[in-house]
Amino acid sequence: MGKPQTKRPPALEGDTAAPAGDGAPDHLTEAIELLFFAYRDFISDPDEILIEYGFGRAHHRVVHFVGRNPGITVAELLDILRITKQSLARVLKQLIERGFIEQETGKQDRRQRMLFLTATGRELAQRLEAPQRTRVAAALEKAGPGASAAWRTVLLALVNEEDRPEVETLIAKTPAG
């Protein structure tokens, strides 16, 4: 059996598959590198805050998604984060023991564990999100009219196609409380 073929997206006008002959990177390479650098800086402020607590990025993601989805089950959180049960268990244990997250047994299914941020957890979530909101707001303002819609279109298009409807539903939720 041969190597599986991957479907390549069509090149954008002006983009080339390889760096230009003059050594300058093509537009797609620049876009990829900009995404790496943007992510590095986007996450840098929360990383500094997390250090104060002895937490890492996995803690940040758990706090974020539990805060955005009060009552989320452990199974639903695993589906969003796509990490192992073992990794989530370690992070959740720390967040619960330190008073950032509380869990309740499911009302219909007693096997379910529903997760909620405590007041301390909500405070941490706000601290972590504040510099990111400021950074994104400034970038969108600098980019000008239509930037928010373009940003959403590009980022959503980077999500695996089969996951887009679920992601759109998830991000459209307004948290309770």
Whole-model pTM: value is 0.81
Average pLDDT across the chain, whole number: 88
* Separation of alpha carbons 166 and 162, rounded Å: 8
* Separation of alpha carbons 94 and 19, rounded Å: 46
pLDDT value for 86: 94
pLDDT in tens, 92-107: 999 999 999 999 887 7
* Separation of alpha carbons 177 and 81, rounded Å: 23
Choose which CATH entry (1.10.10.10, 1.10.150.120, 2.60.40.10, 1.10.3720.10) describes domain 38-172: 1.10.10.10
Label residue 4 by pLDDT band (50, 70, 90). very low
> Across residues 20-27, what is the average pLDDT?
70
Which of 36, 37, 38, 19 is CA-nearest to residue 27? 19
Inform me whether the pLDDT recorded for 30 exceeds 90. Answer: yes
When mean pLDDT is compared across 5-19, 49-63, 76-90, 129-143, the lowest value belongs to 5-19
User: Which sequence spans correspond to the domains of the chain?
Assistant: 38-172
3-state secondary structure 61-125: HHHHHHHHCCCEEHHHHHHHHCCCHHHHHHHHHHHHHCCCEEEEECCCCCCCEEEEECHHHHHHH
pLDDT value for 154: 95
Higher pLDDT, 170 or 109: 170
Residue showing tokens 């539903």: 169
When mean pLDDT is compared across 2-11, 32-41, 45-54, the lowest value belongs to 2-11
> Across residues 5-19, what is the average pLDDT?
48
**Cβ contact 145:134 at 8 Å:** no
Burial of 54 (0-12, 13-18, 19+ CB in 10 A): exposed
